[in-house]
Structures are given as C-alpha cells and as structure tokens.
A and B are shown apart, each in its own frame.
Chain A
Amino acid sequence: MDTLRTLLSRIASLFRRRHLDADLDDELRSHIDLAIEENRKRGMTRQQAHTAALRSFGGVAQAREAYRSQRGLPILDQFVRDLRFGCRQLLRSPGFALTAILTLALGLGANTAVFSLINALLLRPLPVPHADELAMVTLRRSGDSELRFSFTYPVFRTLEKRHDVFQNIGAFTQSTIQARGSSGNVNVPGNLVSGQFFETLETPPLLGRYLTPQDDQKGGASSQFGVVISEGFWRTWFNSAPDVVGRTLVLANSPFVVVGVMPRSFIGADPTNRPEIYAPLWAEPIIHAPYNNIASGYHSTWMRVITRRNPGVSLEQANTALQTETNSVLEDSVSDPEWLKGMHSQHAQLGAEPGSTGYSYLQHAFAKPLTAVFALCAAMLLLACLNLASLLLARSAARERELATRLAMGASRRRLIQQLLVESLLIAVLGTAVSIVAAPIVSSALAAMVLGRNPGATLDTTLDLRVFAFVAFTAILATLLIGLLPALRATSKNLNEQIKSGSHTASAHERKRVLPRVLMGLEVALALILVVGAGLLAASLTRLYRTGLGFDPKGVVNLSLDMGKQSLDGDPLTRWYQSYGDALSHQPGVKNVSLASITPMDGDIWTRTYRSALSGGDKDLHMNTVAPAFFETMRIPLLAGRDFRWSDSLASGRKIILNQSAAKLLFPDRNAVGQQVSADKNSYEVIAVAGDIHYASIREPAPPEAYIAITQDTGHKSSYTVVVRTDGQPAPLAVAARSLAAQMSPEIPPPFMISLSNQLDDSIRSERMMAMLSIFFAACALLVTAIGLYGTLSYATARRTSEIGIRMALGAQRLQVVAMVYRENAWIAICGSLAGLAVASLASRALSSFLYGISAHDPWVLIGSVAALIFIASAASLLPAMRAARIEPMAALRAE
C-alpha cells in the first residue's frame, strides 16, 4: 500500500517537475531565512548569521539532489538523459545515423514483411471460435509424394456420418458462381458447402440462419435451395436491405433463396478466399452446369473436408481413429471392387492434419519457398546488424579515451554500457518505425505475387498482435546485436592502459583491430552467401524462361468464356464460337484468332488413352480440343499434314493431330499422318503432326499430346478459351471482347482476359518471387557491405593519419600508402569470401529443390559471386585508401 502510494506520487511528480523544483527552492530559502533570523536574535552579525545558517543546514545542493531522487523516478530520469545524449550523438553525424537507420530498416522491414505474409498464410488461425479444435481430413497413398486434401463425393458422404471423434464434419469447395444482377450474369467467388460446414465453424450468422444438414439434401430444405451470403455481398448487392432473408437470388440461371448473412469477420475455411455466396453441396449440378461432379461419383475429387474434434480428443487420436476406419469408410462409399483393390494396394490411409488455419493449396505450395525467403531475410538482418556493429565499433574507438576517463572518475561500467546501449536502441527503434511503415506495402505486394492473377484470391496481411510481437522481438535482438559488442568493447579498457598506449602504439593497434576485422569478415561471408543464393535462383529462373516452350507466348491474349449456362449447344454453339472468333479477328491489331479448351500453363490437365496398331497397348496422351488456326496463332509448327477446318464435321470422320512425341509413341519409326488411332471404341484419322509444347508446367518436359477438333467435340456446352495473337493494345481488345460477348450472348458473364505471358509468369510465381527477392537482398547485401567496408576503413584510416604522415615523411610513396590501406580490406574480403564460399556450398544444397537446370554448385555462379564481392569491396576500399595517400605529412604531424 505504502509502496504503491509512493510510486504513484513519484510518477505524478514527473509531470510537475518545474513547479516542484520552484517549490523546493522556496522552501529551502525560507529555511535559511528562518535560521538567519534566529541567529540574528542571538546577537550574531548578518554575515555570521548567514554563515552559521548555511553550516548547520549542510550542503544545499546535496539536499536538493537527495530530495529530487526521492521525488521522481531516478531510473527514468537517467534513461531520458541517456536518450537525449544518444539523440545528440546521432545528430552529430547525420550521415552515419541515416545509413544506420536505413540499413536496419531494410533488414527489419524485409523480415516484418515476409513474416506478416507467413503469418497471414500459415500461422493466423481462422477467425472462428476455438480454431484449435479444427482438423483437416487427409488421404495418404503409397505412390503420392504429398498428402491429399481432396475428396470424392461418396467418400465424404460416408465420413460425414461418423461422429466418434468429431463433433462435426464439413466439406467445402471453392466455386465461381454466376449471379444475376441488374446488368446480366456476373461471376462471384463462392463456396459450395456441406450441411455441417457452418456448424463446424461455429460462427453465428449476422442475419437469418446459416445452412444446416436440412439445406444440404436433394431439392433443398423447401422448394428451393437456400444460400447464405457474406456481409459485403449483402451490402453491395442487396443495399443492406434488412428484409434480405427470404429474398430470391438467381444463381446459374436458377432461383435460390437467401436464408442468412454471415458477418464480415467470417471468411470460410480458406484463408486466401473471400466467398460471397455459400450454396449447399447438393446444388452443385446447378452451379457447375453443364458439369456434375456428384454424378461423377468416385471419379471426381473436388472437396476439402474440415472437422471439429470432440472436446478432449487430440489430433493424434483423431488421426489414429481415421487411419483404422479407412477401409470401412472406403467400402461403405464405393462398391466398385476394382477401385477398392486399387486403393488397398496403394495402402490408402485417411488421417487428420491440424486445421486451425483452414486449408489453401497455397499453404502447401508456398510453405517451402516462404521459409527459404524468410531465411534470406534473417541473413539480411544479421548482415545489417553486423554492419552496424562494425560501424559503431569503429566510431566508439574514437570515444575510447572519453569512456576510459569516465570509468576512472567513478562511473560504473554498467552505467556506461547502459548509455551506449540506449544509443543502439535509438537506432533500432527508429529503424523499426521506418520498417513498420514500409512493411505492409511490401507484404501486400508479396501477397499479390503469391496469389497470382487468380480472380477472387486475397490474403489479409495486416499487422496483427503476432506480427507486432515478432517486430518487438527482432528489434530487441537487433539492439543487442548492434550495441552490446561495441559497448562491452569500448568500456573494457582502463584509463591507465589507455593513456599509456595513446592511439598510436602499433602493437595495441593491431590487437584492437582483430574484432572489427572478424565482424567485417563475417559480413562479407554472409553477403557472399546471399549473392550465391541469388545467383543460383536467378540463373535457374533464366533457364526456365529460356526453355523452348514450343510456342511463342509474346502477343497472345487469352479470353476465357463461360458457356455452361446459356441456351446454345451442339452445332449452333460451335457456330457461335466461330462467329465470335471472326468478329474478334476484325479488331485492330489482331493477327490470328483461335479457340482451345486448355491453354498452356493454365493449370488444367486432361488426359486420355489412345492406341494404334503399332503402339503395343494404351498410351496416355495429354489432350486439347482446338479450333482451326490454333497452331498458327500459337506459332506451333505443323511438321506434316494439314490443320483442322471448320468443315471437319463428325460425319466426315473423326480427325486427330498428334504432337511429335505422341506420334513417336504411337507410330515408332513411321509417318503418322494418314494412320488411324483409337480411343473409347472411336477411331481417329491422324491428319497432322505438330511440334511439342509444354502443357501444364515449364519445369516438366513437353508431354505426348493429341489435339481434337472443336467441330467434332461431343461434349455439352463446352466452354472454350479464345486465343488471340495481336500486336495492338490489350485494353481496347478486352473492351471489344466484352461488348461483343454481351451483344452476341447476353446471358453469359463477361469473358476473363489474361495475356499468355502473364499466365506463364503465374505458373512459376514461386520461382519468380524467390529469384526477385533474393536478387533484391543480394543487391542490398552488396551495398550494405560496401558501406560497411568503406565506413570502417575510413574511421580506421582517420585514426592513423599521423602514423601515415610519419611513414610518408620517412619516404613512403603515395602508391605504397594506397596499397597499405587497401590491403586491410582486401584481406577481409578474401578471407570472408572463402568462409562464405565454404558455407554457401553447404547451404546451397537446401536450395537445390528450387533449382531448374542448374547445379547448386554451378561454378560460374560461384566465381561470379566472388568476383562481384571482390569488386565491390575494392571499390569501397579504394576511396579511403586514396584519401589516405593525399595526407600531407607535415600537416598530419603538426596536428599531433
């Protein structure tokens, strides 16, 4: 109680310091006056009375000081004094301060940005109650390299009924839903969810109710399927109408009824998605028309399964339970004995993985690249800290005498270290402030890179508590890294030694300079590691881009059309496509137009087995359905035969075009053109052989591929992508394509446009992200190292001015002086590079899984990196060396 009251009173006094000081002075004055008065009464003279009063009082200054330290918080006072001193110290050399703050901001900012991305994608739990109870159901098969998170409809429906370890089991699948608004159909990001999905996530709705198992049955809960919409959708689409529940929403040209609105905080179970509409799983055939994944049964895997564990059931127990149930679940779901045998031979096993962060395929695709990038950031931060430590060390060498004198005069070492640490804290805090401002911009740019051009994908990278904790941790770590070593170092000497040695004794000089050299050497080594990493990743990316794709992406634009829910089908739809292509080909700048069901690297893979008289059994071919002029548009060479024609109808016999690999596979050592191949009881005439192209991945070699004609497509309401080669601007083309589509078919949503080059970039975006970031870090590392080498050498040389003066007075040539100074850093650079090279050759193995067409020990990259570092180091060292050579011996000696 007493202590608390004292503390409060002390804190309160901090804010009235000036007033209290004046008050104390008044009181002390009145004390002396009273004493003088009494002394005078006793008969002393004025002078005597005054002296006696002061004598009996004791030291006025001491009393005042004791009073003050009793009044305020001495530790805080001291801290404020140190802070002021630190500010003055920084302001005295603004160049140093700016460099220090910016390099640190760079290191800290990069770490914060990447960490907030990692946080958003991999660490932050879903904003639902008790997210830690969530788990994702997985399937492991012996042939797979990775766990599968995707399930078929029958398996999920069996799982859904099991509640031994789970409270609820829900399924969700990302889906683009056509919603009818005032201006026609629009694509809206949505989710198809099973009956228990919302119960699993436990988030109460904002309005109405959420979907329940009653909604997820044939025909829905009542006459129509119910849907739940997001708060954002409710505000924009329904203008926040309070009576939205019960209203009709036309999705995929069918009426649905809105049963509830979910609050803004609810984002579903995928952190990279913001669904606007949640429709029941049973409505899938309507939403996905003309496709029907439910009818495809166990042939189609299309949903993720998320569960909430029963209280007291650990993830481990849930995992074991699922493992042991695997066979019974599979047998209850699928009756095909062949399929079951297949699953059995692959040792199929269900399992449970942590689900608190929900599921996104990006989590798995980017976990490794992001970890690698995070390691790069940490190396960058360490480098920045080492650099600052060296600079501070060099700077505090200039203050050694001052500090030694203060130690000798009774300052405690702890006190001095504290003061020096406050200085580095100041740098760290300012650096952190800059980095916190910059980090959100960088992390949202990085998030855009991770997400690619997926429509509807977002990632919330705002700074949350976890990021701030991380920032605070790194800032403190940086402060200690920067400040502790120089502070310990600068206060280690006693005055005696200091005064004896002065600043010129050669031996002391040598010994003192080992530590800074080691620090700089480490920095050079670290920089080399970063440069080697960047070199490898960049070379690998260049190789990816130089890979012969088999087609020319430059100037090609893709327009994907969604024709699944309009009224045309069969030949009329084919004619629609033909006339849409014709209309586009008349746009300015357009050279060729064609159509394809799959465009290179769009992520889709479609395969079918074919056989020929010579193939010796079925061969798996990658497939594509294309319109005439596809090869011309893509600049894929036709090696023999002729292209498809719009007149190639089913009646004129099925035609097929093979690529070179497929032709070799089906007709070894034989001209394929004119031959027959068969699939599914149908026979096709090979009319041409085309060049090989990369199909779904730049990394993987071109697969054997077959093309069939759009005019012979037997599918229903197939959606195609228009491929346009143009040398005009893409923007006006997009406008024209949209208005043409709206004119010719008002029911379809506007086509989605992406250039083929962007699509290719997207397909290797993790490689691009890593290469770009590592090049950026390597460039920064080189710059920072150059600054460090330059700065420390400048300080060191400045302190050697008189020594150099003496050498020159004794006859040293200017060139010799240059060599002498330059040699200092040359050794650091060479030793650092060697150490870095040794570590890099071990560490680069960790990168090898990211590399394409280049060894982790590529000699050119290693040699180039060392050369770059030596060059930078030389450039940074020559300046101080030349400055040293310009020293006038007389001036230097006189200054002593």
Chain B
Amino acid sequence: MGDSKSDVLQGTLDLMVLKTLESMGPLHGYGIARRIEQVSGDTLSMNQGTIYPALLRLEQRGWISSEWGTSETNRRAKFYSLSRLGRKQIEEATENWERVAATMARFLAPS
C-alpha cells in the first residue's frame, strides 16, 4: 500500500455511495464499489467488501432502499436506490463537506 493512497475517511464513504446513486440511478453493490474506485482514480484504497456494512447502515437510516433485480448481463443482484430522505441527506452532507473543506483550505493556504 503506497503513501499516495489514503484510507477511506469515516463518514465519507456514506456520502460517496449516496452521490453515486444520485448520478447513476439504482445500482447493485458491485457497481457502486466499482464506480467509487473509478471516480476516485487510484487515490483511494478500499476493500470492496466494506461497501456492504455501509449500505446496510444507510438503509437502516432510511436514506436508501434495496430490491432484488437483474443486472444488464442477466444476473440476479440486489439493487440500491436513493430515497427522498437520502436526497435531503446529500444536500445536508454536501453543505457540511464544503464548509469543512473551505475551513481546511484556509488553514492549508500559504499565509
């Protein structure tokens, strides 16, 4: 594991999942994991398996819902989709992130 890769920060994975579902529509766990890997490039080290407890956590909070369906290659898979509460959560979390990022940026900017 190189220095350039960072572990997924607690809490960020939730937002990544929600954001993925927002842009891609209903998707199965493998698809979500792949999409996160692709978007983050090679900067993130993530075991795909960790996506499942996160998905369950989001479902327990009512932000996403799940349903068994068929994949584009005709395989049975569980599809996750964003709920109304989830969309609201994205707004809140995004705002939150931007505020944190802006604060951090001010600290890191050369003075």
Within 8 A of B (CB), among A758-773: none
Taken together as a complex, chains A and B put the C-alpha atoms of A33 and B28 apart, in Å, by 12
Q: Which residue of B lies closest to A62 (CB)?
A: B49
A5–B73 Cα distance when bound, in Å, is 35
Q: Are B60 and A30 in contact (CB under 8 A)?
A: no
Chain A positions within 8 Å of B31 at CB level = 34
In the complex, whether A71 has a CB less than 8 A from a CB of chain B is: yes
CB nearest neighbor in A for B31 = A34
Contact between A70 and B30, CB atoms less than 8 A apart: no
Q: Chain B nearest CB: distance from A364 CB in Å? A: 62
Residue B96 lies at the interface, judged by CB distance under 8 Å to chain A: no
* Residue numbers in A under 8 Å from B78 (CB-CB): 23, 26-27, 30
Do the beta carbons of B76 and A30 come within 8 Å of each other? yes
Distance to closest chain B CB from A65 (angstroms) = 9
Chain A 1-23 interface residues, beta-carbon cutoff 8 Å to B? 2, 5-6, 9-10, 23
Tell me the smallest distance from the CB of B37 to a CB of chain A, in Å: 8
A24-B52 contact, Cβ under 8 Å, with A34-B71, A34-B77: yes
In B1-52, the 8 Å CB interface with A consists of: 28-31, 33-34, 47-50, 52
* Minimal beta-carbon separation of A28 from chain B (angstroms): 7
What CA separation (Å) do A66 and B47 show in the bound complex?
13
Report if A59 contacts B (CB, 8 A). Answer: yes
For the complex, is A614 an interface residue (Cβ under 8 Å from B)?
A: no
Q: Determine the chain A residues whose CB is within 8 A of the CB of B48 once the complex forms.
A: 31, 35, 56-58
Check B102 for interface membership: any CB of A closer than 8 A.
no
**Cβ–Cβ contact B56 & A70, under 8 A:** yes
Whether the pair B50, A5 counts as a contact (CB closer than 8 A) is no
B76 to chain A, nearest CB (A): 6
Q: Which chain A positions have C-beta within 8 A of B77?
A: 27, 30-31, 34
Question: Given A30-B28, A30-B76: A63 and B60 within 8 A (CB)?
Answer: no
Bound: A57/B73 CA distance, A: 20
> Complex formed: what's the CA distance from A63 to B62 in Å?
21
Q: Does A37 contact B (CB under 8 A)?
A: yes
A2 and B61 contact, CB distance less than 8 A: yes
In the complex, residue of chain B having the shortest beta-carbon distance to the beta carbon of A56: B48
Asked if A9 and B47 make an inter-chain contact with CB atoms under 8 angstroms apart, the answer reads no
Tell me which residues across on chain B come within 8 A of A70, comparing CB atoms.
53, 56-57, 60
Contact residues in B for A26 (Cβ distance below 8 Å):
76, 78
Main secondary structure of the interface of A (DSSP, over half): helix
What 0/1 readout, one digit per residue, does chain A (780-791) give for beta carbons within 8 Å of chain B? Answer: 000000000000
Q: Does A237 contact B (CB under 8 A)?
A: no
Residues of the A chain whose Cβ atoms lie less than 8 Å from the Cβ of B71: 30, 34
Known: A2-B61, A27-B78, A67-B53. Contact between A37 and B47, CB under 8 A? no
Which residues does chain B contribute within 8 Å of A67, judged by CB atoms? 52-53, 56
Contact partners of B47 in chain A: CB under 8 A = 56-59, 63
A6 near B50 with CB under 8 A, answer no
| Cβ contact within 8 Å between A34 and B75 | yes
Residues of A contacting B75 in the complex (Cβ-Cβ under 8 angstroms): 30, 33-34, 37
Nearest-neighbor residue (CB-CB) of A38 within chain B: B34
Question: Could you give, for residues 48-92 of chain B, a 1 whenever the CB lies within 8 Å of some chain A CB and a 0 otherwise?
Answer: 111011001101111000000001010111100000000000000
- Can you list, as one digit per residue, whether each of A665-677 has a CB less than 8 Å from chain B (1) or not (0)? 0000000000000
Chain B residues lying within 8 Å of A62, measured Cβ to Cβ, are 49
A57 CB → nearest B CB, Å: 5
Q: By the criterion CB–CB under 8 Å, are A10 and B60 in contact?
A: yes
Residue in A24, A34, A37, A57 whose beta carbon sits within 8 Å of that of B28 in the complex: A34
In the complex, the chain A residue whose C-beta lies closest to that of B59 is: A9
Name the A residues within 8 Å of B28 (CB-CB): 30-31, 34
Q: How far is the CA of A27 from the CA of B29 in the complex (A)?
A: 8
Q: Are B50 and A58 in contact (CB under 8 A)?
A: yes
Cα A34 to Cα B52 in complex, Å, equals: 15
A839: Cβ under 8 A from any B Cβ: no
Residues of B near A31 (CB, < 8 A) are 28-30, 33, 48, 77
Q: Which A residues are closer than 8 A to B by beta carbons? A: 2, 5-6, 9-10, 23-24, 26-28, 30-31, 33-35, 37-38, 56-60, 62-63, 66-67, 70-71
Q: Which 6 A-B pairs have the closest CB atoms?
A: A58-B47, A63-B49, A34-B30, A58-B49, A9-B60, A6-B60
Knowing that A59-B47, A71-B56 touch, tell me 11 more A-B residue pairs with CB under 8 angstroms. A6-B61, A23-B78, A27-B78, A30-B28, A30-B75, A31-B30, A31-B33, A34-B28, A37-B73, A56-B48, A58-B48
